[in-house]
Amino acid sequence: MIYEEDGKTLVTPCLDIETFEVEIEYICRLLGIKLTADQINKASEKMGLKPVKASDPKKLVKFEVSPVRPDILHACDIAEEIGIGYGFNNIPMVYPPTNTVGSFIPENKFTDLMRHELAQQGYTESLTCALLSKKENYENLRYPVDLEEAIQLANPKTIEYEQVRTTLIPGLLNVFNSNQNEKIPQKIFEISDCAKIDMSADTGCSNYRRICVMQLNTQASFEVIHGSLCQMMTKIGAKMNKDFHLKPHANNEDPKFFP
């Protein structure tokens, strides 16, 4: 028994009986078979549901649900219980009304091909968390925090999960940080989604597929990363200075890189 500040008294656990009134047509549509109200009630009794009189017995069925069944929250849960009580093995197998052939989403298929190419170059794939702190996403890369770009979590559990990543770089740097005792060189990569606020999208944000390749060694080896880039571009049929080009990096152009 709990006494609230406003004077109300709440007795727990709550053992009130819940009632659900569901359309017969809805249950039949979900299960894919035609059932009468009597068949539905008989199946419900096997599952511990108690049939009671519905407001419209021709179209609706009504059940009382025990308080020890917290898994029943919606009409679809009632339909599931009816299907189990009726017996899924008793439902005749039929071909689906639509004939479709499954296939990869083109973007995912292309991503998998790129993963294979990088793995063949000696890189190890890493899968890092899509959530990170503001410090990792901005301050550690010497960027100012941009709250108009990053998607914020309203109530993060810990400080490490404050926003959705806008780049893959912090995640791979954390991988190197966690593997300082491993032998070098270390070559890792990741191809995953990043997200940014996009008010033109229906959800207010958009995902972007990004690729990040890193190498840890005793000396800088720009030619290794350059070679990986050229290899990937060759594999997809892109030509230098036509489909893509490289440009010198000016001092202070990007603060996360050394000048």
**Residues 21-66: tens digit of each pLDDT:** 999 999 999 998 999 999 999 999 999 999 999 888 889 999 999 9
**What is d(CA 116, CA 177) in angstroms, rounded to the nearest whole number?**
25
Residue 254 lies in a domain: no
pLDDT for 241 equals 79
Judgement on whether residues 31 and 130 belong to the same structural domain of the protein: no
**What is d(CA 64, CA 19) in angstroms, rounded to the nearest whole number?**
4
Q: Per the structure, how many domains does the chain have? A: 2
Scan for tokens 């059940």, then name that residue. 63
Give yes or no for residue 1 having a pLDDT over 60: no
pLDDT for 21 equals 92
| pLDDT, tens digit, 9 for 90 and up, residues 188-242 | 999 999 999 998 888 889 999 999 999 988 887 788 888 888 888 888 888 877 8
How far is CA 63 from its chain centroid?
A: 35
**What is d(CA 28, CA 17) in angstroms, rounded to the nearest whole number?**
25
Q: How confident is the model at residue 119 (pLDDT cuts 50, 70, 90)?
A: very high
C-alpha distances in Å from residue 62, one per residue of 25, 38, 71, 76, 123: 13, 12, 17, 13, 60
Averaged pLDDT of the chain: 87
**% pLDDT > 90, the chain:** 42
Judgement on whether residues 124 and 13 belong to the same structural domain of the protein: no
Which tokens is 159 given?
């400080």
Which tokens is 179 given?
């593997």
Contact (Cβ atoms closer than 8 angstroms) between residue 18 and residue 67: yes
Judgement on whether residues 129 and 183 belong to the same structural domain of the protein: yes
**% pLDDT > 70, the chain:** 98
Judgement on whether residues 227 and 145 belong to the same structural domain of the protein: yes
Q: Domain range spanning residue 28?
A: 8-90
Judgement on whether residues 174 and 53 belong to the same structural domain of the protein: no
Judgement on whether residues 114 and 85 belong to the same structural domain of the protein: no
pLDDT for 259 equals 63
For residues 251 and 21, the model is more confident at 21
